[in-house]
């Protein structure tokens, strides 16, 4: 009997050195890849195939905004088409930040070539934007809320009001963005923890803040609602709003995609929590590349005590099942559970 599944699409920063060759390794739908490559070639940009097949990972090349976005979109779309439909019935789709564009592709709102064009356009438009983005934990080692860290983050948001903003609510982490001066000052003020944080996200501007308004205006001028199609599956956006399949307001969907989520905070935790409550999937499938979504997904579930999850150890124990609740296609031993 088929299992129901929620599909989750990753955001920027998930194609790194370890993922080089990910697309060619798993490529089964050559038509999909050729469509994506054609869009890139027409624009005079390196194709996904060329980028993914390079012998050496280059931060300057692979993390460049329009390249990273293209690789992540193509990898996610490819993984979606590799899910075995005889084993899993995808009942809803959501994503984190740039993953919203991949969700549009997976649900048929945008065809693969249109989706590739959109992620390339948005990457180029937002890459030239002002500001920076960094991440900081709001939880302890056991994935429980840390009130002191939460208070410290709120202090920085208040101290730099109008210059620093909550960009993404990402499980147990806050992604903050704003002017370079505000980001630098906040990072210096926040105490170092886990020997990594606060962590500046390289190549990221002040995404999901009003500093992206110019990019939003430009996108709206070239991406009319007529280029969007009805979703074939329900989608949950960064507000926790559900876009129903075959019955969505496409003008509203266009405005949300190119305006709201570009310029306002993206609450990935809420999107995930609404999705599991409303659709009660038997499994959550995380598309590649990479496997970094797992922690944020687990932390979001712990926050609402989903299926009795209260701590990091609870989640780790639950994942020991023969077929884990959360299945990451970026992890080979988990991918084999879902691929054709």
| Strand ranges, E, within 46-161 | 88-95, 132-137
236 and 100 within one domain: yes
Q: Number of structural domains, the chain?
A: 2
For residues 25-32, give the mean pLDDT: 88
* Token reading at 291: 């496997």
Query: What does the angle CA 326 – CA 324 – CA 330 come to, to the nearest 5 degrees?
Result: 55
Is the residue at 85 inside a domain?
yes
Q: Could you say which of 204, 235, 257 is where a domain stops?
A: 204
Confidence of residue 30 (pLDDT cuts 50, 70, 90): confident
In a domain, 340, yes or no: no
**Number of neighbouring beta carbons within 10 Å of residue 229:** 16
- 259: in domain: yes
SS (H, E, C) 255-289: HHHHHHHHHCCEEHHHHHHHHHHHHCCCEEEECCC
- Whether residues 62 and 43 share a domain: the answer is yes
pLDDT (tens digit per residue) in 69-92: 999 999 999 999 999 999 999 999
Please tell me the pTM assigned to this model: 0.97
Domain co-membership, 61 together with 163: no
Give residue 129's pLDDT band: very low, low, confident or very high (50, 70, 90): confident
Could you list the residue range(s) of the whole structural domain that residue 144 is in?
132-204
Residue 91 in domain: yes
pLDDT in tens, 192-249: 999 999 999 988 999 999 999 999 999 999 999 999 999 999 999 999 999 999 999 9
Q: Are 177 and 318 in a shared domain?
A: no
């Amino acid at each position: 009997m088929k299992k129901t599944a929620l599909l989750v699409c990753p955001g920027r920063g998930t194609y790194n050195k370890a993922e080089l060759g990910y697309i060619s390794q798993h490529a089964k739908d050559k038509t999909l890849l050729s469509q994506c490559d054609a869009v890139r070639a027409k624009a005079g940009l390196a194709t996904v195939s060329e980028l993914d097949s390079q012998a050496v990972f280059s931060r300057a090349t692979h993390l460049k905004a329009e390249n990273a976005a293209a690789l992540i979109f193509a990898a996610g779309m490819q993984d979606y088409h590799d899910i075995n439909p005889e084993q899993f019935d995808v009942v809803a789709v959501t994503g984190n930040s740039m993953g919203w564009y991949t969700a549009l592709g997976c649900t048929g709102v945008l065809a693969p070539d249109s989706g590739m064009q959109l992620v390339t356009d948005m990457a180029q438009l937002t890459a030239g934007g002002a500001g920076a983005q960094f991440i900081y934990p709001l939880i302890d080692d056991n994935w429980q809320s840390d009130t002191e860290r939460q208070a410290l983050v709120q202090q920085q948001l208040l101290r730099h009001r109008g210059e620093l903003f909550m960009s993404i609510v990402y499980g147990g982490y806050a992604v903050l963005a704003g002017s370079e001066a505000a980001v630098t000052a906040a990072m210096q003020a926040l105490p170092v923890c886990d020997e990594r944080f606060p962590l500046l996200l390289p190549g990221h501007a002040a995404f999901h803040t009003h500093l992206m308004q110019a990019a939003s205006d430009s996108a709206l001028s070239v991406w009319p609602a007529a280029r969007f199609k009805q979703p074939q599956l329900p989608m949950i956006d960064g507000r926790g709003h559900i876009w129903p399949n075959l019955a969505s307001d496409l003008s509203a969907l266009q405005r949300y995609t190119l305006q709201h989520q570009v310029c306002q905070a993206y609450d990935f935790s809420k999107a995930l929590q609404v999705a599991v409550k409303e659709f009660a999937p038997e499994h959550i499938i995380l598309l590649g590349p990479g496997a970094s979504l797992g922690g944020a997904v687990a932390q979001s579930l712990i926050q609402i005590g989903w299926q009795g999850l209260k701590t990091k150890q609870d989640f780790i124990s639950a994942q020991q099942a023969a077929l884990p609740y959360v299945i990451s296609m970026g992890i080979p031993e988990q991918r084999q559970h879902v691929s054709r």
